[in-house]
Amino acid sequence: MPTERVSQFSIFRTRYLDHEGVPLGPLPAFATDTTSLIPLYRAMVRTRVFDAKAVSLQRTGRLGTFASSLGQEAVGVGAASAMTPNDVLVPAFRDQAAQLWRGVTPVELLLYWGGDERGSDFSGPRQDFPISVPVASQVPHAAGVALAFKLRHEPRASLCILGDGGTSKGDFYEAINTAGIWRLPLVVLIVNNQWAISVPRSAQSAAETLAQKAIAAGIPGEQVDGNDVIAVRDRVGQALDRARTGGGATVIEALTYRLGDHTTADDARRYRDDREVSEHWHDDPILRLRQYLVKQAVWTRDDDEEQLLASLATEIDQAAADYLATARQPAGSMFDFLFATLPAPLADQRAQALAEEAGNA
Ligand SMILES: Cc1ncc(C[n+]2csc(CCOP(=O)(O)OP(=O)(O)O)c2C)c(N)n1
Ligand SMILES: [Mg+2]
């Protein structure tokens, strides 16, 4: 038959520590000084403490709907710790681990989830994008950021995070196609937490890996163990370096697991087996790194851990108090920051909101 093979591809997965925190081989250079991993560990625990506080604020009627990142902390911390301050983070709604590392404050995140626009007006990483709740709409934005860097000849990269479900959206395909053809300094990090609300990964795509979607865009795709913060930092770091030096875009699929409900508005027990969840607790990214640090004798389960938890409780309790003490914005604010000129129907709604607010005062 006059047929020849014209293309073939493989997808590789990187992991440095096994589930019990035992190295599978030599660690990357940044991790050879074990104490340099302690900030990563602290940041993962900080995210978890923050998430628990946010869920309890929602449960007691003091926060809006919230998306916990329980179990996924290594993805955000690993990725954000590989960025330079000049890179731009373009996050989805479950990426507080990355945002906190970048310098978004816990108070700002709570304001955001409490419905206050000022929560997106970061005091820290001014160039980072606000949270995107519309699934995958942030990926073309991130490609646009990368295009701007390229046109201005700036050695910076754009890091976009989205979920496994988001990779089914046209936005994702369009953005990576553009990134491929224009060789954009973009890293697209897929957080494959195995679920998109109640849709399991197996029902999301017939592709064997989500990383291989990159191949059709002409860019490299790979998997990383998303519960191994060392692996995430290493692979995202390499991709960012390549992006900043003219090597183009990369898609990285981080394999992890959503240990919590989709959001506080969800009850995952209605569609997910408890046993599946408890099995995944054995693969907790925080436990994995802690086991390694303890074995390396740079961390103790009692003193160091207790001190960390105590100082984080103080920090996050204070953030919650500051959030709760923040004076509300006037009702008109929700109309004021989207349009240069407010369309007439919205102007009517604005007037009505102000009148109701005055009546309630
Ligand atoms: C455009 C759009 N469609 C639907 C929704 C409702 N929605 C919110 S989250 C979500 C699933 C997202 O799954 P995934 O991309 O895997 O991210 P994860 O929630 O697991 O972090 C959906 C359908 C939305 N926010 N935006
Ligand atoms: Mg998901």
Instruction: Locate 61 and state its tokens.
Output: 């009627």
Which residue among the candidates 271, 282, 301, 328 is catalytic per the annotation?
271
Residue 193 CA, ligand 2 centroid: distance in Å = 5
Q: For 216-241, what is the mean pLDDT?
A: 98
Model confidence at 64, in pLDDT bands (50, 70, 90)? very high
Q: Is the pLDDT of residue 361 over 80?
A: no
Comparing 314 with 360, the larger pLDDT belongs to 314
280 is a catalytic site residue:
no
Per 3-state DSSP, the chain is made up of helix, strand and coil in percentages (nearest 5) of 50, 10, 40
Instruction: Locate 22 and state its tokens.
Output: 């035992």
Tell which atom from ligand 1 comes closest to the C-alpha of 262.
Answer: 19
Q: Of the ligands numbered here, which is closest to the C-alpha atom of 263?
A: 1
19 is a catalytic site residue:
no
Model confidence at 1, in pLDDT bands (50, 70, 90)? confident
Cα atoms in the 13 Å half-sphere on the side-chain side of 82: 30
Position 334 scores a pLDDT of 84
Residue 17: DSSP 8-state: B
Residue at token pair 């923040």: 326
Weakest mean pLDDT among 275-289, 291-305, 326-340: 326-340
Check: CB of residue 258 under 8 Å from CB of residue 195. yes
141 is a catalytic site residue:
no
Q: For 70-80, what is the mean pLDDT?
A: 99
Summarised one tens digit per residue, pLDDT across range 150-188 is 999 999 999 999 999 999 999 999 999 999 999 999 999
What residues line ligand 1, using a CB cutoff of 6 Å? 94, 133-135, 163-166, 193, 195-197, 258, 262
0.85 surpassed by pTM: yes
Check: CB of residue 58 under 8 Å from CB of residue 36. no
Position 117 scores a pLDDT of 87
Residue at token pair 């224009």: 182
